Each structure stands twice: as C-alpha cells, then as structure tokens.
C-alpha cells in the first residue's frame, strides 16, 4: 500500500530532501499539494516542481520571485526591484489565477485578488511545492494556472543558527533560529530582517532610491499524542515598509507599510485504522497602509478566516478516498467605502485515487457556494499509465474558476455586483521518465478561459467580456555526473486573447533556464542562465518589452563544521532589461553572507 505508507511518512516523520539540482524533484520527494494527501513526486499525476531547503540555501535568493524566476511555466513581472509590486503568471494565466498557500493557509488580498509574494520572507522558508495546472477541484477559487505552496521551517534537531549578510545597494540581511526536539514534541522559531536602499524604480520619476524593509518571524510547534494523533500549529508574519514609484504620481514620494501573516492550528487523529481526520482552523492577513508625501493615502486590510475538515479513508489496498468541507470568510477594512465588506464561501470536495500496478486514476469534484455569486462546480480527472519500466504517460482534464474580488464587485463607480466568476477548462498530456538515472518530462497543454473580467472604456465598469486560449509546451531534463548536476527547463507559450487576437501582456512566448551545480571538494558552486523571449506590456500589444538573458552565480564554502561562507552574483554581465514598461530592474548585484550552522 504505497500511498498509505507515504501518507504516514509525510505527516508523522521528518521529510528529508537530498536533491542537489535546483527545482528538480527526485523519486523519493514527498509532496502534499497536488492531492492534499502525501505521495512521491513520481507517483503524482500532476506536473510538479519542488524547491528544497538545500536548493534555497544554495540559490541565496533575496525574495520568493527570485527563487521562482525561470522555472518552467512561470513568468514574473516586477515594478522596480526588491519588495516592489510583482506579478506571477503560471502557464500564461493571469496573476490572480495562481493560488498561494503557506503551510496550507490560503494567502492573498480580497480586494486585489493577488498575493504579495515579494513580501514573503525567504529566511522563513523550508521548501516550496509548485503544482502546474488547475486544482480548483481541491482548493476552489484561484487555482486555474496552478498552486504554489510555501512550507515554513520546522525543527529537525536541537540547535541554534544565525547568519549575517551584506551586498549591493546597501542590502543587509540578519537571520537567527532556535530549534528544540524531544520524544513527543518539536518547536522551531526563526526571525529575519532584510533591508535595502534599492535603486530608482521608475525611469520617468525623480531619480530617487526606492528602499525596502522586511522584518519577519515564524514559529512551528508539533505535539505527538500517539502514533495516530497529533497537534500542530504554525505562525508566520512579515511586516515592513516599501518605497515605490508609479506612473500616475511620478513626482510624489510614495511608500506603504505592509503586513503578511498566516496563523493555523491542525489536529489529526484516526477514529479507525483506515480513517484519518484533519481538523484545521487558520487565518491569513494582508494589510497595506499607503502614504503620499508623508500623508495617509488609503488603507486596504484583508482578514481571511478559514475552517477545514478533511477525511482520508482507505477503502482497500488500491483505493484512497478524500472528502471534506472548507469554510472561508473574507473581511475588508478599508478607507475606501465598499458596498459590502464581508462574504463567506463553503466548499465541499470529494476525491478518489485508484492505484494499480501500471495504471493510476484520480477523479475529483468540488462545489463552492459563495454568498456573493452563488455556486460553482469544478472537477478534475487524471490517468497515468506506465508504458514500460522507464516511461509513464499521464493525461488529465480539469476545470477551474476565479471568484470576483471585492474591487470587481463593490469598488465605488467601477464595481459590478452582477459580475460572474472567470471559468476555465484545461487539457494536458505528459510523457515522463520514471527512473533515477534518467529524469526528464515533456508536457503539452491547452487552457481555455471564459468570462475574463475587464474594465472597458469609457465607463470602466467591470464586465465579463474577454476569453483566452493558451497553448503551451514544457520540457525539462536533469543530467547527473560525478561532480556536476545539470538541469534544463524550457517553456513555449502562445497566450492569446480570443476576442482581440492579441497576445496576453507580460507573458514571454519562450523561456529557457539552465542550472549547473558543481560539488567538487569543499566548494559548492552553481551557474544559472535564464533566457526570456520578448513580451508585450499592454493588451493592445503596442508596447514591446525585449527579451533578455541573465547569468547568475552562487558559491559556498565551509569554514568549519559550524561556519559557512556563502556568496552570489546576480546578473553577472549587467544586462539592461525590463519586465514592466519604464520600470528598472537590478543590474549587477553582489552579495556575501556568513552563517553559523549550530550543533
């Protein structure tokens, strides 16, 4: 019963990830995001990328978008450097079509409908799971393009650790952690601070430096009552200040205080041998207080309260049934006078997994009942077949939807209370290698989105007007030699507005990423090459953003058993490029840090 042992392993023991390739999932990696149950990456019927703790440490990224940049299927648009507004596009879908979770807690702004990934502190992250393709049948709204789940650091042993770093543009990083483990409990706490003076974000504004500060803390606790019963709690908070420019108020000094917070408690027990129950209560907060020339200029605070009841029932040696209910209540506290400031959503989901000797089948359905727009039903079906001992063919079909935001529904003058959810259908076929010696995969997919929400002139009142058709091809391969690991990821995309026949903005039609990691002797070093094709910055395709190439380097050297020296170089050749029109990006960046690894 391979899935039952994987489920127990993932939840009741420490998970050890040993891949040394950036964003490469090994056969033994345990993932939980794709099905809300534990399985190995090879057994998954979804297209999955795992960024492990080892890979995060090696990459030395300053923020989450830097970690994600270049990964197949992902495009990133940044408005002026570290901490500035950043959009993540997955498989050509909109930035609002990506669901982001922290330890299973849904994040995001109920007014904007997106997540401030640039504010998520890398120093608090243990690993990231990226699942491409629709997952609305498990998670409801937002998961049209896929799901990004961030897992915060957990205690694995008794130790303390600390680090200090400095780099270009007066960037300073300070981090410290404390971990304790005994027979039946474990506790971890980590704190971090990141500050940079930055550079001028907008080319057309005053040539000031737009700085950024982020102070963060995370804590995780787990108490084991028995082999079949335990309680876990998680907390993550990041707060700070971001100085920014925008094209509408270029001559003004703009900044914002922000808060991103996730809190959750989860109790798991087994009423019967083959029945596991998970009861979870959680809350996320997205807060922003904006200022113009030092004066208050708008507050937008979102609080999201959630309850979840999930049941995993082993029906036989080959059948696993997952069923549950999710409840979510969104509240908005803003200086903007929204007609309504709260709404709730109830989601009922059912998933059946069948595991055969050479065939695996997954079928799922979910019904969401939202007080703002009624019910929405989504589903997913996937079939995986082993063609031989080395090759596996996976085909899938899934539907998804994006709930209208409070801005879409109730923003003064432009909101439309009758707006409908955006809806999608996705088809995918994948051929992958299932051997450790040869790791590669080819994915071909198509996504059709209807009822796309737009703000047409001259009224700019929200309406469901547009449709989109997105065709894509993804290829990845990992090559392992004695002292070198190489991973190649390629994405080819054709994201078209089916009404205007224009290319959807800020999506590159092709992307290539190559990682070469060297592991000779004490030195560990890596070379990363990212190549992005041209894109357009607006819906009419009248503003073109040229393609670009980046070369990044990283290295680390153990000074002793307890001390590590790390360094990295971003944009080695100082390439001048844009991911959003008129906004500057980082040229050459050099960073160094020293780490105390503890006992």
Q: How far apart are CA 96 and CA 88, in angstroms?
A: 8
**What's the pTM?**
0.94
How would DSSP label each residue in 51-84? Answer: E-HHHHHHHT-SSHHHHHTT-TTEEEEESSSTTS
Q: Compute CA distances 555 → 168, 516, 533, 552, 567, whole Å.
A: 17, 12, 28, 11, 5
Return the bridge partners of 385, or none: 359, 393
Q: Hey, is 170 helix, strand or coil? A: helix
How would DSSP label each residue in 573-594? Answer: T-----SSTTB----SEEEEEE
Return the bridge partners of 463, or none: 454
Note down the domain range covering 588: 2-596
Tokens 């079949």 identify what position?
228
Q: How far apart are CA 579 and CA 65, in angstroms?
A: 12
> What local confidence, expressed as pLDDT, does residue 28 receive?
57
Which letter, b or e, does each residue of 161-194 get, where b requires 16 or more Cβ atoms within 10 Å of its Cβ?
Answer: bebebebbbebebbbbbbbebeeeebbbbbbbbb
Tokens 């999201």 identify what position?
304
Look at the chain and report how many structural domains it folds into: 1
Query: Tell me, what CATH number does 246's domain have?
Result: 2.40.170.20
Secondary structure of the chain: what % helix, strand, coil (to 5)? 5, 55, 35
Q: How far apart are CA 325 and CA 123, in angstroms?
A: 33
How would DSSP label each residue in 405-445? Answer: PHHHHHSTTT--TTPPPEEEEEEEEEEEE-SSS-EEEEEEE
Determine phi and psi for 523, rounding to 5 degrees: -70, 135
Each residue of 529-575: pLDDT tens digit? 999 999 999 999 999 999 999 999 999 999 999 999 999 999 999 99
Q: How far apart are CA 525 and CA 552, in angstroms?
A: 11
CB 212 within 8 A of CB 204: no
Return the bridge partners of 309, or none: 279, 325
Tokens 């380097």 identify what position?
553
Cα 522 to the center of its chain, rounded Å: 32
How would DSSP label each residue in 521-563? Answer: SS-EEEEEEEEE--EESSTTS-SEE--EEEEEEEEEEESSSSE
Q: How far apart are CA 95 and CA 91, in angstroms?
A: 10
**Dihedral angle of Cα 94, 96, 101, 106, to the nearest 10 degrees:** -160
Q: How far apart are CA 450 and CA 427, in angstroms?
A: 15
For 528, the token pair is 């990363």
Q: Compute CA distances 528 → 59, 90, 200, 400, 486, whole Å.
A: 9, 21, 26, 34, 10
CA angle 486, 535, 108 (to 5 degrees): 80
CB 467 within 8 A of CB 497: yes
For 297, the token pair is 């200029």
The DSSP symbol for 96 reads G
Bridge-based pairing of strands 319-334 and 342-355 is antiparallel
The DSSP symbol for 29 reads -
How would DSSP label each residue in 271-282? Answer: EETTEEEEEEEE
CB 532 within 8 A of CB 513: no
Residue 516 preceded by cis peptide, ω within 30: no
Residues of the chain with pLDDT under 70: 1-28, 249-251, 599
End-to-end CA distance of the chain: 37
Q: How far apart are CA 548 and CA 571, in angstroms?
A: 11
């Amino acid at each position: 019963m391979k899935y039952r042992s994987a489920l127990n392993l993932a939840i009741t023991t420490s998970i050890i990830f040993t891949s040394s390739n950036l964003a490469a999932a090994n056969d033994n990696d345990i993932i939980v995001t794709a099905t809300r149950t534990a399985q190995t990456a090879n057994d998954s019927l979804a297209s999955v990328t795992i960024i492990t703790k080892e890979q995060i440490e090696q990459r030395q990224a300053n923020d989450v978008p830097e970690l994600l940049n270049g990964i197949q299927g992902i495009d990133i648009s940044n408005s002026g450097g570290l901490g500035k507004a950043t959009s993540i596009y997955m498989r050509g879908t909109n930035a609002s079509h990506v669901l982001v979770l922290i330890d299973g807690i849904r994040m995001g702004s109920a007014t904007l409908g997106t997540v401030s990934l640039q504010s998520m502190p890398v120093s608090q992250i243990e690993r990231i799971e990226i699942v491409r393709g629709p997952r609305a049948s498990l998670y409801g709204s937002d998961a049209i393009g896929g799901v990004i789940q961030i897992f915060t650091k957990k205690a694995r042993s008794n130790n303390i650790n600390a680090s200090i770093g400095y780099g270009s543009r007066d960037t300073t990083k300070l981090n410290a952690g404390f971990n304790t483990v005994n027979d039946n409990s474990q506790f971890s706490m980590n704190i971090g601070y990141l500050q940079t003076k930055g550079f001028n974000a907008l080319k057309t504004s005053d040539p000031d430096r737009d700085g950024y500060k982020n102070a963060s803390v995370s804590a995780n606790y787990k108490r084991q009552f028995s082999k079949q019963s335990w309680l876990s709690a998680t907390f993550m908070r990041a707060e700070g200040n971001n100085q920014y420019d925008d094209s509408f108020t270029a001559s003004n000094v703009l900044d914002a205080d922000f808060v991103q917070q996730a809190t959750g408690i989860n109790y798991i027990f087994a009423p019967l041998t083959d029945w596991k129950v998970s009861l979870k209560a959680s809350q996320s907060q997205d807060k922003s207080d904006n200022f113009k020339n030092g004066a208050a200029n708008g507050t937008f605070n979102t609080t999201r309260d959630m309850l979840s009841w999930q049941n995993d029932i082993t029906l036989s040696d080959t059948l696993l049934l997952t069923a549950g209910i999710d409840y979510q209540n969104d509240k908005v506290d803003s200086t903007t006078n929204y007609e309504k400031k709260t709404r709730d959503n109830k989601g009922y989901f059912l998933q059946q997994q069948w595991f055969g000797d050479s065939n695996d089948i997954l079928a799922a359905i979910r019904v969401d009942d939202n007080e703002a727009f009624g019910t929405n039903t989504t589903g997913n079906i996937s079939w995986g077949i082993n063609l031989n001992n080395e090759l596996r063919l996976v085909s899938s079909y899934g539907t998804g939807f994006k709930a209208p935001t409070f801005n879409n529904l109730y923003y003064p003058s432009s909101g439309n209370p009758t707006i409908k959810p955006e809806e999608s259908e996705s088809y995918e076929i994948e051929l992958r290698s299932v051997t450790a010696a040869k790791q590669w995969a080819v994915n071909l997919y198509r996504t059709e989105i209807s009822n796309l929400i737009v703000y047409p002139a001259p009224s700019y009142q929200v309406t469901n007007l547009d449709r989109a058709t997105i065709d894509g091809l993804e290829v990845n391969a990992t090559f392992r030699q004695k002292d070198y690991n190489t991973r190649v990821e390629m994405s080819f995309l054709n994201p078209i507005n089916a009404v205007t026949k224009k290319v959807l903005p800020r999506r590159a039609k092709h992307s290539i990423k190559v990682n070469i990691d060297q592991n000779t002797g004490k030195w560990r070093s890596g070379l990363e090459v990212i190549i992005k094709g041209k894109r357009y910055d607006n819906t009419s395709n009248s503003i073109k953003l040229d393609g670009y190439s980046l070369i990044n380097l990283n290295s680390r050297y153990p000074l002793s058993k307890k001390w590590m020296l790390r360094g990295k170089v971003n944009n080695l050749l100082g390439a001048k490029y844009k991911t959003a029109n008129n906004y500057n990006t980082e040229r050459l960046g050099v960073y160094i840090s020293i780490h105390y690894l503890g006992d």
